[in-house]
Structure formats: structure tokens, C-alpha cells
Amino acid sequence: MIFRKKLSPKSISLICLPSVLRRWSVRWPLVTKFKKIYRKNYFFNSLVDKIKQGFMHPDHLKVRIQVDGQIYGNQDLSKSLSGISAVLTESDNQYGIIELGYEKEVDFIFPEEQNLLNNIAQMVSRWLETSRAKELIRKSEEKLSITLQSIGDGVVATDIHGRVNRMNKVAEALTGITLKEAWGGKQITEVFKL
């Protein structure tokens, strides 16, 4: 019970971790690759700092996060005397790892610390999986939009309820209704009359 009293304040400092994850789950800027890399670096470097705050002996703790070949935090943990790690996974495939190493000998690494690191790894894995899925959807939507706009015929697309959700410039010219006007939930029969 004494341990729980010691670890609780440290663990409480990680309560902000879900808010950090939510903050960065917003779509990364699409303007340049540089901005994406900068935000990703900022996220993982901030995460390294937050992890250090949540574990025993933070002054002697080194944290390294490796994701997709990129290393954040401490590059070298070879001088660590003891440590723990947790794997980052996506669809049962390992794509990264979070490693903690203590520079000085610590009496004991508590099972709660390993559980905390596993929970952090799960949250980061879910965040990365969601971010990657959003990026794939964005790229797919962009390709679909380019394809739709390049078709020389009028094309109107609807959802399963018959509401217009896409149309190209040719369709706008033929129907006399813009996509912005049709987007408000208009049925295909209202937009395109046979």
C-alpha cells in the first residue's frame, strides 16, 4: 500500500496523456510534408517528457520511442542498468516500441509501471492507427475528387438514401445547381429531373 501512495501522484501526472492524444488526433496540416513531420516530432517529444513524469525516479530515467525507424527521446539506452518496454502495434503488426531505462540501479521496477507503460503504448497505437486511417481516407477522397472533376460527362453521386454528396462541374452546368446548394441534403430527384 505504501507503493500506491508513492506512485499515485506520478501516475496522476499522466492523466493529461489522453488530452495530448486527442489534441493531435486532429488531422495534421495538409499543406506541406514538413509541417506533418514537425507536428509528429513535437507529439512524440512531448510524450517522452510526459512519460518521464509518470514513473519512479524520473531524474534517472531515459525514455526512447521508436516509430517507423524514427527515434524520439534518448538515442542510446545501452548504459541503462534496468528497464522495461512496450510494443506499439497496428493490426497485430509491430511498428514501434517504447523503452524505459534507468541510468542508476533502482530497487525494484513495479508491475504497475509495466502496466502503465502498456496502457500508454495501447493509447499511442490507437492514436497512430486512427491518424493513419484518416490520412488514407483523405488521400482516397482527394483521388476520387480529382477523378470526378476530370470526367467530361456530368456525374452526380449520392449516398444510400439518395441525397447528393458529390457532383462535378459538368453536372453543375447541366443541372444549374452547385454542389454547395445540393449538399444541404437535397435528393437526386430535386437536383436532376428526368
- How far apart are the C-alpha atoms of 163 and 184, rounded to whole Å? 9
Question: Averaged in consecutive runs of 10 residues, what is the pLDDT profile of the chain (194 residues)?
Answer: 44 48 43 56 86 81 88 82 87 87 77 86 87 88 87 88 89 88 82 78
Whether the Cβ atoms of residue 191 and residue 177 lie closer than 8 Å to each other: yes
For 56-119, give the DSSP string. Answer: S-GGGEEEEEEETTEEEE-S--TT-SEEEEEEEEETTEEEEEEEEEESS--S---HHHHHHHHH
State how many domains the chain has.
2
Cα separation, 52 vs 58, in Å, equals 5
| pLDDT on residue 109 | 75
The reply to whether 166 and 131 lie within a common domain is no
Q: Does 136 lie in the same domain as 157?
A: no
Residue 138 and residue 90 in one domain:
yes
By residue range, what is the domain housing residue 187?
151-191
Can you read off the three cell numbers belonging to residue 88?
506499439
Looking at the structure, do residues 107 and 174 belong to the same domain, yes or no? no
pTM here is 0.63
CA–CA dist 28, 59 (Å, integer): 33
For residues 112 and 27, state if they share a domain: yes
Residue 56, pLDDT score: 77
Return the bridge partners of 65, or none: 72, 98
